With several copies, the nearest count.
Chain A
Amino acid sequence: MGLEDLYREIIIDHYRSPRNRGELGEPATRTEGFNPLCGDEVVVFLDIDEGGVVTDVKIGGQGCSISMASASMMSAAVKGKTIDEVQQLTSSFKSMMSIHEREIGGDGSESEADSIVDAEFPMGDLEAMRGVVKFPVRIKCATLGWNTLLQGIDEHPAVS
């Protein structure tokens, strides 16, 4: 396996020109995520309307090409989707990443493990991230934005 499997062109593109970079003010929520292993920080700003649709999302923070590109691709993919769809997409993405993550624990609740197996949401551009699986230390980078997004949804007043 070579680095070209990891650093696909579209990933480098998202890294160099991140989509939805920035901040959102109130009433958007602001959620921080850390990768304790390498110090990456992602901040996800989230607007969800009363119908449960993600109307806007912005990404802040600093990280490696994989974490930043993944968060950028994620922001593009989830905007306009319902929370349900976002959750399914997240499951699909993690499923693509995470045979390894599940095995060593992850957040590991059993119901989630089931849904990982079931979910198969169309991935579009996100497919480019598939190569990350061959570089297991980078999986945490790729999923950082997504985990932060899930947490943001949980904490959003429109949801709870």
Chain B
Amino acid sequence: MSPLAGHKADFPVLARTFDDKPLIYLDSANTSQKPQMVIDAMAEYYERSNANVHRGSYKLAHEATEALEGARAKVARFINAPAVHEVIFAKNVTELLNLLAQTWGRANLGKGDAVVLTEMEHHANIVPWHMLAAERGIELRWIPITPDGQLDLREIDRLLDGAKLLSFTAMSNVLGTITPVAELSALAHAAGATVIVDASQHVPHLPTDVQAMGADFVAFTGHKMLGPMGIGALWGRTELLEAMPPFLGGGEMILNVTKEGFTTTELPWKFEAGTPAVDAAVGLGAAVDYLSAVGMEAIREHEVSLTGYAMRTLTERHGDDITIHGPSEPASRGGVFSFTYKGVHPHDIAQVLDEQNICVRAGHHCAKPLMKVLGENATTRASLYLYNDESDIDALADTLSAADMFAL
């Protein structure tokens, strides 16, 4: 039995039944479920300490401010950030990648400048650059992928040559591929490019050390790491953050405002205009506590083992009828399986699985350029987290055959 057995009970949604059958949640790459302690921490914030932050001059407001800044400190420790003020909160990683495009990007990229992405990016790390490209005339270059779903680095020197920025995912939300972040950061820096890492799928599942990653910015999103929706975090180097123009203007981010203009306040608040989601920060802090108590190494170990089990079971049971995209070696991937089965459309597969309360995602997973490269319109994706176990995989493997009615 896995050392993580028993954790399922901490997640109230997982006790949900439909038609007296249990829920089998295999969609954590989309959003994770929340342990009761995260839900309770948020409720407790509102029941005891709610007030606006940084502005109040009374005890309750101080408690709320401590709750927000305490959560920031927890997140900073969790990713080994060198300084707490280098951690910036926003509503999700999408906002943070847009922030980078609109502040660092606008300040540093002009006509003809090259930005390097990979073919396995999520739309959140593509569309902001398309928008900037349309505005500024920058060029987008794409690191291709190998048939095994790895980044194909054979042409990396040419791609990075003269590039101003490399922005890429630390783990594909479609293929599960774990990319060589430190290596790519070093190559990009050697070529004079700045480095952004979309760690949305990395931080929830693997120990993350932003210093070891060697990048300049690392962004991720709370709801995929047991935290609530409505919060994401960006780590960035002080020098770069200080040199960047502000993103959204308003309260909290100013030092002074007159009818003629304004000046910005210090980090991290310079990038946090308006009332922040203190409850969501508190929830993210609690999620980080939970993950740390279980241990990121243990979580990774559990997922590698379950990933191996899943790949073995699905292939043993369905042989050539199933194709699982992405790296074949569990140690070089996360617990995310995009597959095709007997040519059946993913939406129909998902429907027959849902009939047995098995939750998977069908579609392009916000990675349409990757779908095109894979030659698929859509895939079915099952994805794991610490609360999954072998029985969940067995249910998936068993139920898949019900999709045979759609085989053409």
Contact = CB atoms under 8 A, between A and B. Distances in A.
- Contact between chain A and chain B defined by CB under 8 Å: yes
Contact of A105 (B266, B347, B368): B266
B351 A3 contact: yes
Interface residues of B, number: 41
Given A3-B351, A39-B363, A110-B82, A62 B56 contact: no
Given A36-B265, A64-B345, A103 B84 contact: yes
Interface string A111-145: 00000000000000000000000011110010000
B348 A65 contact: yes
A71 to B, nearest CB: 13
A105 B75 CA distance: 13
A141 B362 CA distance: 13
B39 interface: no
A105 B61 contact: no
A84 B345 CA distance: 34
Contact of A103 (B73, B345, B352, B363): B73
A12 B405 contact: yes
A108 interface: yes
Query: Which of A37, A40, A103 has its CB near the most chain B CB atoms (within 10 A)?
Result: A37
A41 interface: yes
A115 to B, nearest CB: 15
Contacts of B362: 38, 64
A65 B364 CA distance: 17
Interface string B354-366: 0100000011100
B121 to A, nearest CB: 16
B85 A108 contact: yes
Nearest to B355: A3
B268 interface: yes
Given A36-B256, A37-B363, A65-B406, A106 B54 contact: no
B248 to A, nearest CB: 16
A3 B82 CA distance: 37
Contact of A104 (B84, B368, B405): B84
A40 B84 contact: no
Contacts of A107: 266
Interface residues of A, number: 34
Contacts of A62: 345, 377
B83 A108 contact: yes
Contacts of B378: 38-40
Contacts of A63: 345, 347, 377
Contacts of B255: 34, 36
A64 B268 CA distance: 25
A41 B377 contact: yes
B312 interface: no
Contact of B62 (A12, A34, A137): A137
A136 B56 CA distance: 11
Interface string A53-75: 00000000011111110000000
A64 B254 contact: no
A42 to B, nearest CB: 11
B85 A36 contact: no
B267 interface: yes
B253 to A, nearest CB: 9
Interface in B232-268: 238, 254-256, 265-268
Interface string A1-33: 011001100001001100000000000000000
A93 B386 CA distance: 44
A141 B351 CA distance: 13
Contact of A39 (B56, B65, B73, B368): B368
Nearest to B55: A37
B33 to A, nearest CB: 20
A59 to B, nearest CB: 15
Contacts of A39: 363-364, 368, 371, 377-378
24 contacts: A6-B351, A12-B405, A34-B255, A36-B254, A37-B55, A38-B57, A39-B364, A39-B371, A39-B377, A41-B377, A62-B345, A63-B345, A64-B346, A64-B347, A65-B347, A104-B84, A105-B69, A108-B238, A110-B83, A135-B351, A136-B66, A137-B61, A137-B62, A138-B351
Given A6-B351, A66-B348, 20 more contacts: A34-B255, A37-B54, A38-B57, A38-B378, A41-B377, A63-B347, A64-B347, A65-B345, A65-B347, A65-B348, A68-B345, A104-B69, A104-B72, A105-B69, A105-B268, A106-B85, A108-B267, A136-B62, A136-B66, A138-B351
Interface of B: 54-58, 61-62, 65-66, 69, 72-73, 82-85, 238, 254-256, 265-268, 345-348, 351-352, 355, 362-364, 368, 371, 377-378, 405-406, 408
Interface of A: 2-3, 6-7, 12, 15-16, 34, 36-41, 62-68, 103-110, 135-138, 141
